[in-house]
Amino acid sequence: QTGSANTNPSDSADDEYITSVSIGTPAQVLPLDFDTGSSDLWVFSSETPKSSASGHVTYSPSKSSTAKKLSGSTWSIKYGDKSSSSGDVYTDVVTIGGFSVKTQAVESATKVSTQFVQDTLISGLVGLGFDIGNQVSPRPQKTWFSNAASSLAEPLFTADLRHQETGSYNFGFIDTSLAKGTIGYTPADGSEGYWGFTATGYSVGGAKLNRNSITGIADTGTTLLLLPDNIVDAYYNNVESAEYDDSQEGVVFDCSEDLPSFSFGVGGQTITISGDLLNLTPIEEGSSTCFGGLQSSSDIGTNIFGDVALKAALVVFDLGNERLGWAQK
Ligand SMILES: CSC[C@H](NC(=O)[C@H](Cc1ccccc1)NC(=O)N1CCOCC1)C(=O)N[C@@H](CC1CCCCC1)[C@@H](O)C(=O)OC(C)C
Q: How large is the ipTM?
A: 0.99
Closest ligand 1 atom to the C-alpha of 297?
1
Ligand 1 pocket mutation pick from 81, 128, 197, 281 by most atoms within 8 angstroms of CB: 81
Q: Compute the average pLDDT of residues 258-280.
A: 98
Which residue has a Cα nearest atom 17 of ligand 1?
223
CA of 96 from ligand 1 middle (Å) equals: 22
Predicted pLDDT of residue 1: 97
**Pairwise CA distance, residues 148 & 159, whole Å:** 16
Q: What average pLDDT does the segment 230-251 reach?
A: 98
What spatial distance separates the first Cα and last Cα of the chain, rounded to whole Å? 26
The stretch 179-194 carries a mean pLDDT of 97
- On whether the CB atoms of residues 111 and 78 are closer than 8 A, the answer is no
Nearest CA to ligand 1 atom 7: 222
pLDDT band at residue 146 under the 50/70/90 scheme: very high
Q: What is the mean pLDDT of residues 146-156?
A: 98
What integer pLDDT is reported at residue 66 of this predicted model? 98
Q: How confident is the model at residue 267 (pLDDT cuts 50, 70, 90)?
A: very high
C-alpha 220 to ligand 1 mean position (Å): 9
pTM for the predicted model, two decimal places: 0.98
pLDDT tens digit sequence for 112-135: 999 999 999 999 999 999 999 999
Per-residue confidence (pLDDT) for residue 253, from 0 to 100: 98
- Grouping H, G, I as helix, E, B as strand and the rest as coil, residue 132 is helix
CA gap 303, 281 in Å, rounded: 21
Average per-residue pLDDT for the chain:
98
- The CA 222 to ligand 1 mean position distance, Å, reads 4
The closest-lying atom of ligand 1 relative to the alpha carbon of residue 35 is 37
* Contact predicate 171/3, CB 8 Å: yes
* Distance of CA 246 from the midpoint of ligand 1 (Å): 19
Which residues have C-beta atoms less than 6 Å from ligand 1?
15-16, 33, 35, 37-38, 79-81, 83, 115, 119, 194, 219, 221-224, 300, 304
Please compute the mean of the pLDDT values over residues 43-58 and round it to a whole number. Answer: 98
Coil/strand/helix, residue 146: helix
Q: Please name the residues in contact with 150: beta carbons below 8 A apart, sequence gap of 6 or more.
A: none
Report CA(217)–ligand 1 centroid distance (Å). Answer: 13
Atom 43 (ligand 1): residue with closest C-alpha?
80
- Band (92; pLDDT cuts 50, 70, 90): very high
pLDDT of residue 49: 98
Query: Which residues are the active-site residues?
Result: 35, 219
The predicted pLDDT at position 246 comes to 97
Long-range contacts at 287-291 (CB < 8 A, ≥ 24 apart)? 287/255, 288/254, 288/255, 288/256, 289/245, 289/252, 289/253, 289/254, 289/255, 290/252, 290/253, 290/254, 290/255, 291/248, 291/250, 291/251, 291/252
Going by pLDDT thresholds of 50, 70 and 90, the confidence category of residue 166 is very high
**Mutation pick for ligand 1 pocket among 78, 128, 222, 300 (CB with most ligand atoms within 8 Å):** 222
